[in-house]
Structure 1
Amino acid sequence: MLLESVTPVIISKNSENTIKRCLESLKNFKHIIVYDNGSNDGTISICRSFDNVILVEGDFFGFGPTKNLAADKAPTDWVLSLDSDEELHQSTLDELSTWHLNEVTSVGLILRENWFCGKKITTNGWGNDFIVRLYNKKSHKFTDSQVHEKVEINKNTKTIKLKGKLIHNAIFDIKQTLDKAQLYSEIYASSDKKVKYSFFFIVLKTFFAFFRSYLLKLGILSGWRGFVISFGDAIGVFFKYAKVYQRSEVKK
């Protein structure tokens, strides 16, 4: 079975540890778009080893704008948006083969299983993670958000929940927790949506982020993994707002 009417679209940067598994899960698609924004590891050579991959190299403009730019390169109107650390489960592939391509206002909602260091996590807000990833680019697109982008839904949108799932290899090394906190906080602090808080309030928000993830969202039930995720959430919040505060104070 070769899927020709839907094109998976992926943005990548230094994804050599995960992108091979991602692309292998998409071997049944005629074309895959990989938009790489500056990899200096083995990502590009891995992508070039797959005959169905169309590699595009360009700049990063924030997650939302970059995903829209990458989708524009797809040879089909129907786009399946994936991250480079995700895999498409066979159950989803089966459903895509019967998708109603003429219903251009429909979008596909897919369950994403989140994995942390070899274990599926359903605490810390990582469970029941349904996201829109299948859409027709003539009627839908991602928001222009620099981070936490999502496919825009309008009054004409028909949302269909697919029975399949995505496997999200979110963290396979604790170092990534720090890397992601650095990346997302830098994007936020450089965006036009940044908000400055007093340093005291930043500290309060940091402690609450840990409390919410570890206790309110039951991270405590996931052992050391739940603690690390909660700690990473707190670090992300701290640096997100501390960078804005520091840059504002330095300018004075």
Structure 2
Amino acid sequence: MMPAFTVCMIVRNEEKNVRKCLRSLSPLQSEIVVVDTGSGDRTVSYAKEFTDKVFSFSWINDFSAARNFAASKASNPWILAVDCDEFLVEAHLPRLQTAMEERADQIGMITRISPYTDFLGNSGVMHEFVGRLYDQRLY
């Protein structure tokens, strides 16, 4: 069984992305904490369609402060930090579970796959490894 965890998101003016992102997280059946840093669009109302844990946080030019605020609202020790323009591929859920069970003392890396087009018109896909899964009791 997968350990309980909370998905934490920091958002601002993400009405174009927030529903797709939150919909992709629904197979996790996890607690979701959304922290809004001053949206002027429908981001907050869209987020409330998926979770009642939507909080406001005044932006102070410190992303880690917003991330720590989100983690403070989590009721589970494990945190999965997700950006609003990302979405979870359901086929990767077993890898998430394995990371939580077998490598509990480490930060879990996710692979972020980003399409790009550079200034010369070349396009492709960039793979980045980003630390997003961690046990907040350890860090």
TM-score range, shorter chain: 0.7 to 0.9
In structure 2, how many angstroms separate the alpha carbons of the residues matched to 1:46 and 1:116? 27
Quote the offset at 1:88 in angstroms: 1.0
Q: Is the 8 A contact 1:6 1:77 kept in 2?
A: yes
Partner of 1:226: none
Instruction: Note closer, same or farther for the CA distance 1:121–1:138 as it changes in structure 2 (3 Å cut).
Output: farther
Partner of 1:105: 105
Q: Secondary structure at the match of 1:128?
A: strand
Percent identity between matched residues is: 30
In structure 2, how many angstroms separate the alpha carbons of the residues matched to 1:53 and 1:10? 13
Partner of 1:73: 73
Matched, 1:15 2:18: no
Quote the offset at 1:48 in angstroms: 1.1
In structure 2, how many angstroms separate the alpha carbons of the residues matched to 1:101 and 1:59? 35
Q: Please, which runs of 5 or more residues in structure 2 have no aligned partner?
A: 118-122
Q: Is the 8 A contact 1:9 1:70 kept in 2?
A: yes
Q: Is the 8 A contact 2:99 2:108 kept in 1?
A: no
Deviations 1:205-224 (A, max 9, x none): xxxxxxxxxxxxxxxxxxxx
Alignment RMSD, CA only? 2.3
Partner of 2:124: 121
Quote the offset at 1:53 in angstroms: 4.7
In structure 2, how many angstroms separate the alpha carbons of the residues matched to 1:59 and 1:33? 16
Instruction: State the TM-score, normalized to the length of structure 1.
Output: 0.48
In structure 1, how many angstroms separate the alpha carbons of the residues matched to 2:26 and 2:42? 19
Instruction: State the TM-score, normalized to the length of structure 2.
Output: 0.82
In structure 1, how many angstroms separate the alpha carbons of the residues matched to 2:63 and 2:25? 22
In structure 2, how many angstroms separate the alpha carbons of the residues matched to 1:100 and 1:9? 16
Determine which structure has more spread, i.e. the larger CA radius of gyration: 1
Quote the offset at 1:116 in angstroms: 4.2
Deviations 1:98-118 (A, max 9, x none): 44448542221111101348x
Deviations 1:101-140 (A, max 9, x none): 48542221111101348xx733xxxx23111110011212
Partner of 1:38: 38
In structure 2, how many angstroms separate the alpha carbons of the residues matched to 1:20 and 1:55? 14
Q: Please, which runs of 5 or more residues in structure 1 have no aligned partner?
A: 141-252
Quote the offset at 1:58 in angstroms: 1.5
Higher relative CO (CA 8 A, sep ≥ 6), structure 1 or 2?
2
Deviations 1:184-233 (A, max 9, x none): xxxxxxxxxxxxxxxxxxxxxxxxxxxxxxxxxxxxxxxxxxxxxxxxxx
Going by fraction, where is helix more abundant, 1 or 2? 1
Partner of 2:120: none
In structure 2, how many angstroms separate the alpha carbons of the residues matched to 1:87 and 1:103? 23
Q: Secondary structure at the match of 1:96?
A: helix
Q: Is the 8 A contact 1:4 1:30 kept in 2?
A: no
1:36-185 alignment runs, 5 A limit: 36-50=36-50, 52-61=51-60, 62-101=62-101, 103-116=103-116, 121-122=124-125, 127-140=126-139
